[in-house]
Amino acid sequence: MSLCRPTVGPEEAAAIARVLTTGVYTNGPETAAFEREFARLHEVEHAVAVANGTVGLAAMLLAHDIGPGDEVIVPSLTFFSTATSVLHVGATPVFADILPGTYDLDPDDVAARLTPRTRAIMPVHYGGQPADLPRLTAVAERAGVLLLEDAAQAHGARLHGRPAGSWGAAAMFSFTPTKNITTGEGGIVVTPNAAVADRLRLLRNHGMTGPYHHEIVGYNWRLTEFQAAMGVVQLGRLPGILDRKRANAAWLGQRLAEVPGVTPPGVRSGAEHVYMLYTVTLDPAIDRDAVLTDLRASGVEAKLYFPPAHRQPPFAIRAGDDGRLGDGPAELPVTDDLAGRILSLPFHAGLTTAELDFMVDQLAATVTRNAR
């Protein structure tokens, strides 16, 4: 039972083949159509498609003039590039701790880590559930800093009826194959602000405002027309994928209620979770690593999402022991505790009820064996 499996079919193949015959492979109408449709579905004015989510984060930061001397507050329980994108633009990521249960930024801990250099708070919608956006917005507004969303995992998610990605000054979504929809590689940045959207387009295409006139220093961060055409088809599949995942999550939640020592992912009040990940927490008495090993041996490809960023060498090593970044790992007690107790189960949209049942049976058996 593989952890992730893209949902694709002959429609994607046809879209890609159609682009092949047009002769326009980049910077064309497919990208524009993908952007329009993505913006409409996420109820934002502008969307700018880019080569991948990681450069999307960098573009989002650069479009707000975030750079050397600036700090951006991020979680550590995330894919590594949430933090490294901040480094890529020359700014400093500052890690804040998370809430148990929903695994996303704790607004009180974020407030405690603000400094005069803080320019932005960048929450991650962990696993596809919107972070506590009302409280994070309040913290950002009080401090006079930006809220920028790392919505890489949250296509179609909502909180209090409002789409993830439409709360902040801008938001990034990724289309790498582990996400709920994919274009192979790809990303998109959405924003309500026309000037920011213009800046994003310049950054994406070498700063060009006319033929070989480079207004600013930009990059080649374009998505191809093949990927954009595939993206439009994938957007059409999104509601079906999410319905299926939500039904599977409801089933799994019921079955896991019978398994002592395993807590299903918490759902925030008012949240429409899209379950890019299905992450459970084990009681401290259970040996999580042994459970992971057993699950994999039984064919269930469970994994830790994510080994915390602040424990990775570039952030964990102190300056002087060969590290560049300075002070050693940040103090993040909740993140460190959960990183030893959580695991994500396979949860792609193709899973059947029989497969979910098999997964729960295997988990129940290994949890009993590995209680310390």
Of all residues in the shown chain, the one whose CB is closest to ligand PLP is: 53
Residues 6+ apart with CB under 8 A from 243: none
Q: Does the footprint of ligand PLP cover residue 104 (CB under 6 A)?
A: no
Q: Does the footprint of ligand PLP cover residue 174 (CB under 6 A)?
A: yes
Q: How far is CA 171 from CA 44, 94, 158, 202, 204, in A?
A: 10, 19, 14, 17, 16
CB-wise, 81 or 205, nearer to ligand PLP? Answer: 81
Range in contact with ligand PLP (rule: CB under 6 A) among 79-87, 205-213, 344-352, 361-369: 79-87
Residue in this structure with the two tokens 């699950």, named with its chain if needed:
295
Q: Does the footprint of ligand PLP cover residue 248 (CB under 6 A)?
A: no
CB of 233 to ligand PLP, least distance (A): 18
CA atoms within 13 A on the CB side of 83: 24
Sign of the dihedral through C-alpha 358, 364, 369, 372: positive
Q: Does the footprint of ligand PLP cover residue 329 (CB under 6 A)?
A: no
Range in contact with ligand PLP (rule: CB under 6 A) among 52-60, 160-168, 195-203, 236-244: 52-60
CB-wise, 227 or 362, nearer to ligand PLP? Answer: 227
CB-wise, 203 or 367, nearer to ligand PLP? Answer: 203
Residues 6+ apart with CB under 8 A from 232: 15, 30, 33, 34, 37
Q: Does the footprint of ligand PLP cover residue 76 (CB under 6 A)?
A: no
Given 34, 38, 46, 53, the residue binding ligand PLP (CB under 6 A): 53
CB of 150 to ligand PLP, least distance (A): 5
Name residue 106's amino acid: D
Given 31, 76, 81, 92, the residue binding ligand PLP (CB under 6 A): 81
Given 70, 150, 272, 287, the residue binding ligand PLP (CB under 6 A): 150
Contacts of residues 139-142 at CB distance under 8 Å and 24 or more positions apart, as own/partner, are 139/107, 139/110, 139/111, 139/114, 142/111
- How big is the site for ligand PLP, counted in residues (CB under 6 A)? 14
Range in contact with ligand PLP (rule: CB under 6 A) among 149-157, 286-294, 326-334, 355-363: 149-157
| C-alpha span between 359 and 311 (Å, rounded) | 30
| C-alpha span between 292 and 247 (Å, rounded) | 25
Residue in this structure with the two tokens 């890529």, named with its chain if needed:
88
Range in contact with ligand PLP (rule: CB under 6 A) among 30-38, 75-83, 307-315, 337-345: 75-83
| C-alpha span between 42 and 61 (Å, rounded) | 20
Binding site for ligand PLP (CB under 6 A): 52-54, 78-79, 81-82, 124, 150, 152-153, 174, 176, 187
